[in-house]
Amino acid sequence: MSAFIGIDLGTTFSAVATIDETGRAIVIHNDMGNNITPSCVFEDEQGVMKVGENARRQWGVTPDTAAARFKRDMGTSVTHRINSQDFTPTQLSTFILKKLVTDAAKTLGPIDEVVVTIPANFAHEARDATMTAARDAGLNVRHIINEPTAAALYYAFKSGEELGGIYAVYDLGGGTFDVSIIRVNGQEVEVMATNGVSKLGGDDFDRSMRNLVRTKFKDLTGESLEDDDFTTNEAEEEKKSLSSRKQVTIRVARQMIDIKREEFEEAISSYITQAEMLCEATIDEADIDVGDITGVFLAGGSTRIPLVMESVKNVFKKDPTSSVNVDEVVALGAALYAAYKGDKDKLSVVQQNAIKKIQVAESTGMCFGTISVGQDTARDTMRLVNSILIRKGEKIPCSITESFYTIHDGQEKVECKVTESSAAETDPRFVKVIWEGGLDLPKGRPANQEVKVTFAYDENQIMNCSFLDVTTKRETTVDLTMASAKPSGARDVDKFLVE
């Protein structure tokens, strides 16, 4: 049995998969026998942190004792309070990962290598935070893969036939939305373009459902609904019901409230339109017409919503492929990727044969640049601009070098910055500086000294940046992601107990 696993660390649910003796990708059950585990954490009366279904229920009943939906805040300064303690999203993700791997190890034994998936438009800090959580959970994460790419890999692998052509992956999960345009040739997967919205998913639809019920309750009674009269968990259940029924009747605070599917659809239509616009923009970025798309792969539980299916058909002019469990495809693809990237000697001959045709070519989901001075031709002045070195959609791995020049005689220092943006943004106000440092230069030199700036992005989406003074060979370098991964200050994960 291989011990390569793929983990889909989701906003609302997480899943773990591996490849079995026959080389098939399979989901590993958790200790309750379920394929997916709620990404919820709660602290019990003994102060023990628990993860999974009970935590989800607890979060619904007494939200103060539990945390959920924290994936959206990865890499930010937002904290989630459980009882009287504040936890970072990284710390909470550490609990989840530990639980997932502990459960998987019961089935698989010791885990050799882990691939964790991340949303395609996760910013650097969020990727970094995910890697930190994995490291703090004691996992040997050598590779990460974007969620839509993992989904595409699984669909290409499982079809059993030689797929060929351009496919769209529409990944609408609990918290984030990603869309990728991918060229598939058998089991070779090449990302052509990808985009995402960091806060668009089932969580927003649950909130829309809650708001809808609140509004109806107020119309009916003239009173406001208390938070615990209709919890997020209940909203989620009703939302799911509306995927198979035209109408639900909800009993709330001794009132019966009818919610029609079309009312719910109207409430979430703005989100669906956002997804549609992003799909169209991604088709543009891939430089193809919608007619060039052979098929559409679905991933994420929110794609079960009928309006979403309709929207997908409307945008891509095709019926999407959703013959597998859309909650699991990302984890399954990640398991295949783990085997593909891992030490093949640890795989059986059958497993090796099963994955031997897999090829994955990922592309950058972000633009990376540096801040320099350029002439503002509009205003005839000089000003700071974001100079993009690695453009979005660049095939990974890649390495780009550009020359810059010192501007002043006697310039003794260059301030080096690495920026990130999900669009080709030149205005420094609208990009994120993900690293900054300095390059000291010798005294007494005239202006126009060449400084070579090199950004190299490897297949694990780790970027090495160097700023080299050509004359003296003085250099400032940074290995982003790994180097900047800081200890999360995870609070005593050892006290974590599996439910």
Partner 1 sequence: MEAVLGLVALFIGLIIISNILSAGARTFSAAGKAAVGKGSFSENMELAFQGMNPMTSRFVDAHLGENGEGPPYKAIEVKGLFPVKSPKRVAFITSVMDKTDGESVPVLSAIEAFQEPGSVAYQHITEVGDVSPDQGFVSWVRVGAVIPDLLITPTSGRRKFSAVLRLVDMDRMPSIELGMHDKSDVGLLWIHMLDFEHTVEEKGYLEAAEHRDEARALSVRIGMAVAMADGSLDDVEGTVLKNWIVKMIAPFSGEKRDHLKGVYNEAMSHAYDAAKSGDLSLSVLTEKLNDIAEKSIRYETIELCFDVMAADGVADAEEMKVIRKVAEALELDFDEIEKIRDQKIIGLDTSVSKQSSVEDLLGIEADWEVDRIKKHLRIEFQKWNNRLNALEEGGERDNAQSMLDMIANARKKYG
Least separation in angstroms between residue 129's CB and partner 1 is 14
Could you write out the DSSP letters of every residue in 294-326?
EEEEEESGGGGSHHHHHHHHHHHSSPPB--S-T
Angstrom distance (rounded) from CA 432 to CA 21: 45
Q: Are 158 and 184 in contact (CB under 8 A)?
A: no
Which residue, 53 or 402, is less far from partner 1 as judged by CB?
402
Identify the CA nearest to 326 among candidates 461, 154, 459.
154
Which residue, 148 or 333, is less far from partner 1 as judged by CB?
148
Which residue, 228 or 430, is less far from partner 1 as judged by CB?
430
Token pair 């999960």 is found at 173
φ, ψ at 487 (rounded to 5°): -60, 135
Amino acid at 398: C
Identify the CA nearest to 63 among candidates 198, 193, 232, 286.
232
Least separation in angstroms between residue 465's CB and partner 1 is 14
Angstrom distance (rounded) from CA 246 to CA 370: 52
Which residue, 147 or 328, is less far from partner 1 as judged by CB?
147
Which residue, 223 or 376, is less far from partner 1 as judged by CB?
376
Angstrom distance (rounded) from CA 430 to CA 457: 22
Least separation in angstroms between residue 327's CB and partner 1 is 25
Residues engaged in binding partner 1 (CB under 8 A): 76-78, 121, 123, 195, 197-199, 269-271, 273-274, 276-278, 280-281, 284, 370-382, 384-385, 387, 402-409, 411-415, 420-423, 425-427, 429-432, 438, 444-448, 451, 453
Which residue, 12 or 176, is less far from partner 1 as judged by CB?
176
Which residue, 235 or 453, is less far from partner 1 as judged by CB?
453
Distance of CA 2 to the CA centre of its chain: 26
Least separation in angstroms between residue 334's CB and partner 1 is 23
Least separation in angstroms between residue 202's CB and partner 1 is 17
Least separation in angstroms between residue 361's CB and partner 1 is 24
- The CA angle 389-391-396, to the nearest 5 degrees, is 100
Least separation in angstroms between residue 321's CB and partner 1 is 25
Least separation in angstroms between residue 432's CB and partner 1 is 5
> How is residue 354 written in tokens?
């099963």
Provide CB contacts within 8 A for 101, sequence distance 6+. Answer: 5, 7, 16, 111, 114, 137, 138, 139
Angstrom distance (rounded) from CA 301 to CA 325: 8
> How is residue 310 written in tokens?
């309709």
Cα dist from 487 to 2, 232, 479, 483, whole Å:
30, 32, 16, 11
φ, ψ at 159 (rounded to 5°): -60, -25
Which residue, 122 or 457, is less far from partner 1 as judged by CB?
122
β pairing state of 113-118 and 4-8: parallel
Amino acid at 241: S
Which residue, 93 or 351, is less far from partner 1 as judged by CB?
93
Least separation in angstroms between residue 73's CB and partner 1 is 8
Question: Would you call the peptide bond into 487 cis, given omega within 30 degrees of 0 as the criterion?
Answer: no
Which residue, 386 or 460, is less far from partner 1 as judged by CB?
386
Least separation in angstroms between residue 407's CB and partner 1 is 4
**Residue 116 gets which letter from DSSP?**
E
